Chain A
Amino acid sequence: MIYNIPYIAVVALILIGLYAIIFKRNLIKIVIGITLIESGVNLFLITLAFKQDSIAPIYRGSGSRIMSLPVPHALTLTSIVIGVAVLALMLSLIIHIYKHYKTLDASKIGREKE
């Protein structure tokens, strides 16, 4: 049971994030929703890499103890870096949107006549 808690957290994070994206009108909250999904997926990757009684894969006097395979960690790092880029882009777009419409309410944006 105790080992399942991270997976429950993953599902909870992803569902909360989806809820925020679908139902929230404020653009900043939508962005928060996306970052929540992202942390959920990252947590999932990290949890997959966990192995009981294993150590970090650094070859320094570790003897014959079990090391955990570092691939998921590498994937997570890459995904975090991509996430930062996406987050920065989204926030900079929000700045531009706010300059044009003076609001962050998604229902009032982009409705003007041409």
Chain B
Amino acid sequence: MNIIDDLILHSPALIVAIPLLGAFLTPLISKINDKMRNIFVIFIVLLTSAIVLLLANDIYAVCGKIHTYVFGGSSPVTQGGFAIRILFEVDGLNIFMALIATILAIVGVIYSWAFMKENTGLDKYYTLYLLMIAGMFGMILTGDMFNFFVFLEITSIASCALIAFWTNKGKAVDAGFKYIVVSATGALFILFAIAILYGQYNALNMAVLASKIEFSFLDNIALVVLVSGLAMKAGIVPMHMWLPDAYGRAPASVTLILVGVTQASLYGALRMIFTVYGDSLSTTLNQIGDINIELNLILGIFIVALALLTIFIGVLMALKENNFKRMIAFAAVAEIGYMILAIGAALTTIFSAAETDIGTGAMALKGGIFHILNDALDVGLLFLVAGAVYYATKETSLNRLGGLARNMKYTTIFFLIGLLAVSGMPPMNGFASKLIIYESTYQVNPILSIIAILCSILLLAVFVKVFHSAFLGPKQPKFDDVKEVPKSMLLAMGIIACIIIFIGLFPDIVVNNIVQPAVNAITDNSNYISNVIGGI
């Protein structure tokens, strides 16, 4: 029993440390043989997941509990009275993101076993893969601004190298270069914002910053730079160009983790906006007559506008795309739009004085956060199916695919599940979260939910087109000897499909047990501040 307690106590550090250690042991293990290495990597990921689950169990046991983990000594102390050290903190939102990352990591490693089998240089592949997972967990768990930047860079370096893993294809290398340019610029923006905040408040810890923030002119600049830097990493519309290339050209197993990395950046934006700036967001910026123009309103409207653009452009580009994976990538852009739409709608209402508005805001946040989980699963499943089709046929263009349902029946079923889920059809999980988003945005402004529903229908149209052109249709002689993909890939897709159906059938279990603590963690930032500062 004692060992379990110790494990939980040190779990935030272990969740990052185990994949990191595993990453650098992988090249050594692969000297023995390939099978050993694959088993080792799966073992590392499962070990990490077990610790995440232990920690989750601990967090959900007590309502509003925050687990802090301190690196470094208690001196020297700065003028503010806080020691200079790095803090990891885990609350409802962090553990929610960590659970998503866990699912993606397990599925990705299982899928890689067969999918990447014929490639060379797999020791480097798995090293980078584990590094990416470690970086993703680090971004999610850290409570320190600069540490967040460091993990962001670890993730972008590892994922860029993995996007360009198939260096024999010019387009893959091009996609990798695009990705690294955008993410390096975005990360430097974030560092600039962190430096502005540090210069004013002499602190890097998120909770300390949140307690000190006064909302000067410089803070305005820092907020804008921070949000735009994170938006670049999350692929929100004016900065989305890298995303279809990177998602479309990377190996499918890598794309799965990239989806998780994008969500982690989105988590960063949520954390910065709601926790660090939470108290000062309702500051009045300008007064016109009797009406106060508050910052949260301006930020919210701006984010909603960006979200609508993101949804629109994502869907429209997906309609005209012919490459299987790029098309799913544009659909992923649209899906990100739904989450930001919910966040923006929440921002406009949640700081208001009226009780009903606060309820709407909390509901929008609930929908948005629930959709983070559902989007990761749905889009992830579709990418895995696209990867399976590529594995079986070596073909990516939808014009040349057809009649695959005859030979690949399980893959077809998984695609059908993903298709229904991503376009928000009732028995699947996408419906549950999109319904909450529609309901809450309708109360903010009916037009928002009309556009959201319309684009969801268009998304269905896109995927029905794909389903028809790739899986149905006449038998094609060149695909006669196409076989169903190996068992490990089917297992990976099956795991995600089962979770999708489970969430679709019992959404209230997930919402009440996992999503609601995350929403509480975001909205109650005084609890966060007092708990984390108490831990310093």
Q: Which residues of chain A have a CB within 8 Å of any CB of chain B?
A: 14, 18, 21, 27, 30, 34, 37-38, 40-41, 44-45, 48, 69, 71-72, 75, 78-79, 82, 85-86, 89-90, 93-94, 96-97, 100-101, 109-110, 112, 114
16 pairs, CB–CB < 8 Å, chain A vs chain B: A34-B185, A38-B188, A44-B192, A44-B195, A48-B198, A69-B78, A79-B149, A79-B191, A82-B157, A90-B177, A90-B180, A97-B170, A97-B174, A109-B170, A110-B174, A114-B396
- B171 in contact (CB, < 8 A): yes
CB of B192 within 8 A of CB of A14, answer: yes
- Residues of B within 8 Å of A94, CB to CB, are 177
Q: How far is the CB of B212 from the nearest CB of chain A, in Å? A: 16
A86 near B180 with CB under 8 A, answer yes
Stretch at the interface among B39-47, B159-167, B431-439: B159-167
Closest Cβ of chain B to A30, distance in Å, is 6
B 164-202 to A, binary, CB cutoff 8 A, 1 in contact else 0:
100100110111110011001100100110010011001
Residue pair A41, B150 in contact (C-beta under 8 Å) = no
| Chain A min CB distance to B361 (Å) | 35
A54 to B218, CA, bound (A): 26
Asked if A89 contacts B188 (CB within 8 A), the reply is: no
Q: How far is the CA of A79 from the CA of B397 in the complex (A)?
A: 41
Query: Closest B-chain residue to A93, C-beta based?
Result: B177
Of A44, A78, A89, A110, the contact of B157 (CB 8 Å cutoff): A89
Q: Once bound together, how far apart are the Cα atoms of A44 and B195, in whole Å?
A: 7
A82 to B152, CA, bound (A): 11
Interface residues of B in 240-273 (CB under 8 A from A): 245
Contacts between the two chains (Cβ within 8 Å), count? 88
Contacts of B184 in A (CB 8 A): 34, 38, 86, 90
Query: Are B181 and A78 in contact, with the CB atoms below 8 A?
Result: no
Interface residue ranges, B against A (CB under 8 Å): 78, 84, 146, 149-150, 153, 156-157, 160-161, 164, 167, 170-171, 173-177, 180-181, 184-185, 188, 191-192, 195, 198-199, 202, 204, 245, 323, 396-397
Residues of A within 8 A of B160 (CB): 89, 93
Contact of B192 among A21, A41, A85, A110 (CB under 8 A): A41
CB pair A100 B157 closer than 8 Å: no
> Using Cβ atoms and an 8 Å threshold, which residues of chain B touch A48?
195, 198-199
Cβ–Cβ < 8 Å partners of B204 in chain A: 71
11 further A-B contacts with Cβ under 8 Å, apart from A34-B181, A79-B149, A86-B180, are A45-B198, A48-B198, A71-B204, A75-B146, A75-B195, A86-B156, A86-B157, A89-B157, A96-B167, A110-B170, A114-B397
Instruction: Give A97 to B170 CA distance when docked, in angstroms.
Output: 6
- Which residues from B are CB-within-8-Å of A101? 170
Chain B contacts of A85 at CB under 8 A?
153, 157
Residue of B nearest to A69 (CB): B78
Contact: B164 with A96, CB < 8 Å?
Answer: yes
Q: Complex: how many Å from CA A85 to CA B199?
A: 26
Asked if A90 and B181 make an inter-chain contact with CB atoms under 8 angstroms apart, the answer reads yes
Partner of B174, one of A21, A86, A90, A109: A109
B-chain residues with CB within 8 Å of residue A89 when the two chains form the complex: 157, 160-161, 180
B173 A97 Cβ-Cβ under 8 A: yes
Contacts of A21 in B (CB 8 A): 181, 185
- How many Å lie between the Cα of A52 and that of B175 in the bound state? 47
A41 and B195 within 8 A (CB): yes
In the complex, A93→B157 CA distance in Å?
A: 12
With A45-B195, A48-B198, A110-B170: A97-B177 Cβ-Cβ less than 8 Å: yes
Contacts of B177 in A (CB 8 A): 27, 90, 93-94, 97
Q: How far is the CA of A14 from the CA of B283 in the complex (A)?
A: 29
CA distance A61 to B323 in the complex (A): 68
User: In whole Å, how far is B470's beta carbon from the nearest beta carbon of chain A?
Assistant: 16
Minimum Cβ distance to chain A for residue B125 (Å): 16
Residues on A with C-beta less than 8 A from B180 are 86, 89-90, 93
Whole-angstrom distance between the alpha carbons of A44 and B198 in the complex? Answer: 11
Contacts of A110 in B (CB 8 A): 170-171, 174-175, 245
Pick the residue among B78, B84, B153, B170 that contacts A82 (CB under 8 A).
Answer: B153
Q: In the assembled complex, how far is the CB of residue A80 from the closest CB belonging to chain B, in whole angstroms?
A: 11
Instruction: Give the distance to chain A from B71, nearest Cβ to Cβ, in Å.
Output: 14
Do B173 and A96 touch across chains, with their CB atoms under 8 A apart? yes
For residue B284, give the distance in angstroms from its CB to the closest CB of chain A: 29
Cα separation A86 to B154 with both chains bound (whole Å): 10
Of A75, A78, A109, the most chain B CB neighbours within 10 A belong to: A75
Q: Which residues of B contact A41 (CB under 8 A)?
A: 188, 191-192, 195
Select from chain A the residue with minimum beta-carbon distance to B161: A89
CB of B150 within 8 A of CB of A93, answer: no
Chain A: minimal CB distance from B395 (Å): 10
Cross-interface CB contact of A100 among B146, B173, B181, cutoff 8 Å: B173
A89 to B160, CA, bound (A): 8
State the CA gap A90–B173 with chains docked (Å). 10
Assembled-state Cα–Cα distance A94/B164 (Å): 11
| CB <8 Å contact, A93 and B199 | no
> Which chain B residue lies CB-closest to A30?
B181
A-side contacts of B78, CB under 8 Å: 69
The smallest C-beta distance from B399 to any residue of chain A, in angstroms, reads 10
Residues of A within 8 A of B175 (CB): 110
Residues of A within 8 A of B150 (CB): 78, 82
Give complex CA distance A14, B185 in Å.
10
The 4 closest A-B pairs by CB, nearest first: A100-B170, A110-B174, A48-B199, A96-B173
